[in-house]
Amino acid sequence: MSAESNIASSKVLALHPDRLFAADPLQRDIARRLYARIKDLPIVSPHGHTDPRWFADNQNWDNATSLLLLPDHYVFRMLYSQGITLEQLGIRRRDGVAVETDYRKIFHIFAAHYHLFRGTPSRMWLDSVFHDVFGLRESLSPATADLFYDHINAALATEAFKPRALLDRFNIEVIATTEGALNDLKHHAKLKGTGFEKRVITTFRPDDVVDADRADFAANVQKLGEITGEDTSNWQGYLQALRIRRAFFRDHGATATDHGHPTANTADLPLVEAEALFARCLKGASAADAELFRGQMLTEMAGMSLEDGMTMQIHPGAHRNHNAVIFERFGPDKGADIPSPTEYVQALKPLLQKYGNEARLNIILFTLDETTYARELAPLAGHYPALKLGPAWWFHDSPEGMLRFRHQVTETAGFYNTCGFNDDTRAFLSIPARHDVARRIDCRFLAQLVAEHRLNEDEAHELAYDLTYRLAKQAYQL
Ligand SMILES: [Zn+2]
């Protein structure tokens, strides 16, 4: 028997109503009752990376491959790990060398390797998309690849599958996109007056103008000056320009900022030192200066959040573009980012000494280092009024990852120092499935506490509502 023929393809695509609940009958019954009351609540998606152009232009998507596969680095990182090249998957190369452009062929490659996703959250999300969004009832396999591709493309061409129609169908109350500090926000501007301007909002992500490691840092800071009319060659003008951009983003719906830093380091330098550091960074920063400057800017941004009320998200710990060959050929966000160990207790101390006691401040911490949940993050968030914990993130946005998060933080931080779920995704069609996984896992965790008489069932119902809906709206001021 060849290796290929070992791969069974079960024919029926079905989603079990009890999926992700505990196998224990008592816990499963409780989880069913909890879930029944919250499963249809509106989706609040306060952090993510969908393309605002979709909602602004409201055009039909072209085809299954460019919507479902090409934006999803979870998908092609797995295929790449098994020897499929990114060229075969149609990922554009920076040097213009030709890559596969036959979308049907790419979809066939995906179908032929769909078994690779067994046991991964991607498999659950994709099966939910096929079943719930497109109404498919057969499993994806080489034999059904054409059926899937044609069925999905035909659906995508209809009115019901235009982006705004799907916002309604998915019951998305609000969705935040993420834009860099220099973005003109023209897509969000186009939404004004359409009734969608409060449903599709932006997020202020200033990494491009605070990360002096970037080759384009000085040019970006100069551009920041041009679009704000401030002299960003000096420290005070630069800070004022950032305040102006924050106000511009708020005018386009933003209630939050986001900071994707390699570490959680913060700094609180005396004014003269901050001025001198900024001047050095504009000339081309050393690695140490760039790290110190990013840290100083987190503290500055916390101060601005106190002024203007924006929630601040800190996403540290991704070692970006670990695979230099892939980065050179294809650029960032190609599935080659790898989590790094991250330290929070010492790193956040300068910021927390200055602003940690401010109850009006909302700082949401994320991690890719699960060893910090119980040791660092839960104790910090369980003490400082300014801190909350974001949900299990990225590699840990998974059934097991979410359970580990709840098991390790709840006893110290409680539920109310957490912020509900966010999907953090580019894969728009998978948003209902991702939120459904989070809802099921939270109900599963709560059901265990009820079954062990650590929580009353009426409290668990209230918590299920809060974790699904209320805490996200509160933390992001939506
Ligand atoms: Zn994100």
Q: At 103, phi and psi to the nearest 5?
A: -65, -30
Q: How far is the CA of 210 from the centre of ligand 1 (A)?
A: 17
Residues 206/256, Cβ–Cβ less than 8 Å: no
Residues 128/432, Cβ–Cβ less than 8 Å: yes
Q: How far is the CA of 48 from the centre of ligand 1 (A)?
A: 5
- Residue pointed to by tokens 């152009």: 53
Q: Interior CA angle at 136 toward 165 and 64, to 5°?
A: 60
List the pLDDT tens digit at each of the 478 positions of the chain.
344 555 555 689 999 999 999 999 999 999 999 999 999 999 999 999 999 999 999 999 999 999 999 888 999 899 999 999 999 999 999 999 999 999 999 999 999 999 999 999 999 999 999 999 999 999 999 999 999 999 999 999 999 999 999 999 999 999 999 999 999 999 999 999 999 999 999 999 999 999 999 999 999 999 999 999 999 999 999 999 999 999 999 999 999 999 999 999 999 999 999 999 999 999 999 999 999 999 999 999 999 999 999 999 999 999 999 999 999 999 998 999 999 999 999 999 999 999 999 999 999 999 999 999 999 999 999 999 999 999 999 999 999 999 999 999 999 999 999 999 999 999 999 999 999 999 999 999 999 999 999 999 999 999 999 999 999 999 999 9
Torsion angle, alpha carbons of 288, 292, 294, 298, to 10: 160
Q: How far is the CA of 135 from the centre of ligand 1 (A)?
A: 29
- State how far the Cα of 306 lies from the Cα of 22, in Å rounded to an integer: 42
Q: How far is the CA of 228 from the centre of ligand 1 (A)?
A: 26
Q: How far is the CA of 170 from the centre of ligand 1 (A)?
A: 20
Residues 301/257, Cβ–Cβ less than 8 Å: yes
Q: How far is the CA of 43 from the centre of ligand 1 (A)?
A: 17
Q: How far is the CA of 6 from the centre of ligand 1 (A)?
A: 38
Name the pTM for this structure.
Answer: 0.96
Q: How far is the CA of 256 from the centre of ligand 1 (A)?
A: 12
- State how far the Cα of 456 lies from the Cα of 460, in Å rounded to an integer: 6
Alpha-carbon separation of residue 387 from 260, 307, 347, 361, 368 (angstroms): 17, 17, 14, 8, 17
Best CA proximity match to 130, nearest among 461, 429, 361: 429
Question: What are the helix (H) ranges across 45-184?
Answer: 52-57, 64, 73-81, 103-112, 121-128, 145-156, 163-169
pLDDT at residue 323, rounded to an integer: 96
Q: How far is the CA of 424 from the centre of ligand 1 (A)?
A: 5
Q: How far is the CA of 127 from the centre of ligand 1 (A)?
A: 23
Q: How far is the CA of 69 from the centre of ligand 1 (A)?
A: 18
Q: How far is the CA of 196 from the centre of ligand 1 (A)?
A: 22
pLDDT at residue 11, rounded to an integer: 86
- State how far the Cα of 297 lies from the Cα of 312, in Å rounded to an integer: 12
Q: How far is the CA of 74 from the centre of ligand 1 (A)?
A: 14
Q: How far is the CA of 470 from the centre of ligand 1 (A)?
A: 21
Q: How far is the CA of 40 from the centre of ligand 1 (A)?
A: 25
